[in-house]
Structure 1
Amino acid sequence: MIIQFNTDKTINGDVKHQEFFSDQIENELDRFRSHITRIEVHLTDQNGKKEGINDIRCLLEARIEGRKPIAVSDQADTVEQAVSGAIDKLKAALGTIMSRLKDH
């Protein structure tokens, strides 16, 4: 599973942060590893450098073998919370898709 990061200019996208979030994503989505070819992570600060509530957005796009990509997003006060929320939503979506595939 390849994990690709994209950040805007206001969010720190250094290697340390990418490794931390890549490990988190891989651990949380481990049971879907054989079905996912790539995950794209898009982190943006909706207000730029201004302060705001729930202004950090994490969009996760998962490329699944033989299927169209799916995308989920979450907004929170911090990057960590936004990534965690998006991972939870992606796990739920992938769980639904995989259970449907098993039923057919």
Structure 2
Amino acid sequence: MQVQINTGHNIKGHEALATEVSSVVEESLSRFSTRLTNVDVHLSNQNSEQEDGNDSMRCMIEAHIAGYQALAVTHQAATLDQAVDGAAEKLTHLIEHTLGRLEHQASHRTDPPLSS
């Protein structure tokens, strides 16, 4: 699983931030790592006049599951750390739900499997 970090023009995208965000995302999604091809993280400050506060920090995470459509979540919070943690938690729940639904559908198929 490859994690790509993107920052808005008003977020300082230094190496320490990218390393910290990558580790949070990788840890949160580690149990799905064999199913995910890549994860894109977008960080932004919705209120560029202020550095933080008032839930202006936004984290959008998009996960690409092999063979399926990408899943995306967004979380806004007062700090980047809170925004990343919240988005990672939301994405974990969404992936669990999506994979569970896909596995349930596959186990209840009545048509014969396609031969290759």
TM over 0.5: yes
Question: In the TM superposition, what whole-angstrom CA distance separates every residue of 1:65-97 from its partner, at most 9, and x where no partner exists?
Answer: 000101100000000000000001000000001
The aligned residue for residue 92 of structure 1 is: 93
2: CA distance, partners of 1:50 / 1:26: 29
RMSD: 1.1
Q: Which runs of 5+ in 2 are unaligned?
A: 107-116
The aligned residue for residue 103 of structure 2 is: 102
Counterpart contact for 1:59–1:71, Cα < 8 Å: yes
**Number of positions where the alignment pairs a residue of Structure 1 with one of Structure 2:** 104
Letter in 2 for 1:43: L
Letter in 2 for 1:37: T
The aligned residue for residue 58 of structure 1 is: 59
The aligned residue for residue 10 of structure 1 is: 10
Counterpart contact for 1:10–1:49, Cα < 8 Å: no
Letter in 1 for 2:15: V
Q: TM-score, normalised by structure 2?
A: 0.85
Counterpart contact for 1:58–1:73, Cα < 8 Å: yes
Q: Secondary structure at the match of 2:86?
A: helix
Once the two structures are aligned, what percentage of the paired residues are identical? Answer: 38
Regions of 4+ moved over 6 Å? none
Q: Which runs of 5+ in 1 are unaligned?
A: none
Q: TM-score, normalised by structure 1?
A: 0.94
Counterpart contact for 1:62–1:71, Cα < 8 Å: yes
